[in-house]
Amino acid sequence: MCSSFSYILYNHYPLRSPSSTNIHPNARWQQNGITVAGGNRQGNGVNQLSDPLGLYVDDDQTIYVAEWSNHRIMEWKRGATSGQVVAGGNGQGSGDHQLSNPRDVIIDKGRDSL
Protein backbone atom coordinates (compact mmCIF):
# COMPACT_ATOMS: atom_id res chain seq x y z
CA MET A 1 0.00 0.00 0.00
CA CYS A 2 1.39 3.37 -0.97
CA SER A 3 0.39 6.62 0.57
CA SER A 4 1.64 10.15 0.45
CA PHE A 5 1.03 13.11 2.66
CA SER A 6 2.01 16.71 2.95
CA TYR A 7 2.06 19.08 5.85
CA ILE A 8 2.41 22.76 6.59
CA LEU A 9 4.31 24.01 9.60
CA TYR A 10 3.46 27.42 11.01
CA ASN A 11 5.49 29.14 13.69
CA HIS A 12 3.62 31.85 15.55
CA TYR A 13 5.60 34.41 17.49
CA PRO A 14 4.28 37.41 19.39
CA LEU A 15 4.85 40.79 17.74
CA ARG A 16 7.75 42.71 19.23
CA SER A 17 9.29 45.99 18.23
CA PRO A 18 13.08 46.39 18.06
CA SER A 19 12.99 48.10 21.47
CA SER A 20 11.32 44.97 22.94
CA THR A 21 8.16 46.91 23.76
CA ASN A 22 5.19 44.59 23.72
CA ILE A 23 2.63 45.16 20.99
CA HIS A 24 -0.86 43.99 21.83
CA PRO A 25 -1.72 40.76 19.95
CA ASN A 26 -4.89 42.38 18.57
CA ALA A 27 -3.14 45.55 17.39
CA ARG A 28 -4.32 46.91 14.03
CA TRP A 29 -2.67 49.19 11.51
CA GLN A 30 -4.13 51.12 8.63
CA GLN A 31 -3.59 49.05 5.49
CA ASN A 32 -2.08 51.03 2.65
CA GLY A 33 0.47 48.62 1.23
CA ILE A 34 1.11 47.92 -2.44
CA THR A 35 2.24 44.76 -4.19
CA VAL A 36 5.77 45.22 -5.51
CA ALA A 37 6.55 41.71 -6.82
CA GLY A 38 4.28 38.93 -7.97
CA GLY A 39 0.61 39.40 -7.17
CA ASN A 40 -0.62 37.44 -10.19
CA ARG A 41 -1.30 34.12 -8.50
CA GLN A 42 1.26 31.38 -8.06
CA GLY A 43 3.07 30.40 -11.23
CA ASN A 44 6.27 30.47 -13.25
CA GLY A 45 5.65 33.54 -15.42
CA VAL A 46 7.90 36.60 -15.07
CA ASN A 47 5.01 38.39 -13.35
CA GLN A 48 4.44 35.52 -10.89
CA LEU A 49 6.18 33.93 -7.92
CA SER A 50 6.01 30.39 -6.54
CA ASP A 51 7.10 29.67 -2.97
CA PRO A 52 9.24 32.79 -2.53
CA LEU A 53 11.57 32.32 0.44
CA GLY A 54 14.56 34.67 0.34
CA LEU A 55 14.35 38.39 -0.24
CA TYR A 56 16.98 41.08 -0.74
CA VAL A 57 16.41 44.78 -1.45
CA ASP A 58 19.40 46.76 -2.75
CA ASP A 59 20.19 50.47 -2.50
CA ASP A 60 18.28 51.17 -5.75
CA GLN A 61 15.19 49.46 -4.26
CA THR A 62 15.56 46.56 -6.67
CA ILE A 63 14.06 43.43 -5.11
CA TYR A 64 15.65 39.99 -5.51
CA VAL A 65 13.52 36.96 -4.66
CA ALA A 66 14.63 33.33 -4.26
CA GLU A 67 11.86 31.06 -5.50
CA TRP A 68 11.93 27.54 -4.07
CA SER A 69 9.53 25.89 -6.54
CA ASN A 70 10.66 27.67 -9.71
CA HIS A 71 14.36 27.06 -8.96
CA ARG A 72 15.28 30.63 -9.80
CA ILE A 73 16.24 34.06 -8.51
CA MET A 74 14.06 36.90 -9.81
CA GLU A 75 14.98 40.58 -10.01
CA TRP A 76 12.21 43.19 -9.77
CA LYS A 77 13.25 46.76 -10.56
CA ARG A 78 11.43 49.54 -8.76
CA GLY A 79 8.09 50.20 -10.48
CA ALA A 80 8.30 47.11 -12.73
CA THR A 81 5.21 45.05 -13.49
CA SER A 82 7.25 41.93 -14.22
CA GLY A 83 10.58 40.56 -13.08
CA GLN A 84 13.64 39.20 -14.81
CA VAL A 85 15.28 35.83 -14.13
CA VAL A 86 18.87 36.51 -13.00
CA ALA A 87 19.84 32.97 -11.90
CA GLY A 88 18.40 29.53 -12.60
CA GLY A 89 14.99 29.25 -14.21
CA ASN A 90 16.05 26.24 -16.30
CA GLY A 91 14.51 23.52 -14.18
CA GLN A 92 15.94 21.93 -11.06
CA GLY A 93 19.49 20.69 -11.30
CA SER A 94 23.18 21.12 -10.59
CA GLY A 95 24.23 22.58 -13.95
CA ASP A 96 25.86 26.00 -14.24
CA HIS A 97 22.55 27.38 -15.50
CA GLN A 98 20.36 25.69 -12.87
CA LEU A 99 19.42 26.00 -9.20
CA SER A 100 17.87 23.49 -6.84
CA ASN A 101 15.33 24.93 -4.40
CA PRO A 102 17.07 28.23 -3.57
CA ARG A 103 16.22 29.50 -0.10
CA ASP A 104 17.91 32.89 0.12
CA VAL A 105 19.58 35.69 -1.83
CA ILE A 106 22.91 37.30 -0.95
CA ILE A 107 24.38 40.16 -2.96
CA ASP A 108 28.12 40.91 -2.82
CA LYS A 109 28.27 44.68 -3.33
CA GLY A 110 32.07 44.65 -3.62
CA ARG A 111 31.97 42.29 -6.59
CA ASP A 112 28.54 43.39 -7.79
CA SER A 113 27.48 39.76 -7.90
CA LEU A 114 24.66 37.50 -6.76
Burial of 95 (0-12, 13-18, 19+ CB in 10 A): exposed
pTM above 0.75, yes or no: no
Name the DSSP class of 64.
Answer: E
Q: Is 53 left (phi over 0), alpha (psi -120 to 50) or beta?
A: alpha
Return the domain boundaries, the chain.
40-114
- The dotted CATH code for 40-114 is 2.40.10.500
pLDDT per residue as tens digits for the range 64-108: 999 999 999 999 898 888 899 999 999 999 999 999 999 999 888
pLDDT per residue as tens digits for the range 2-55: 555 555 555 555 555 455 566 777 888 777 777 777 788 888 888 888 998 888
Q: What is the dihedral of CA 32, 105, 62, 13, to 10 degrees?
A: 10
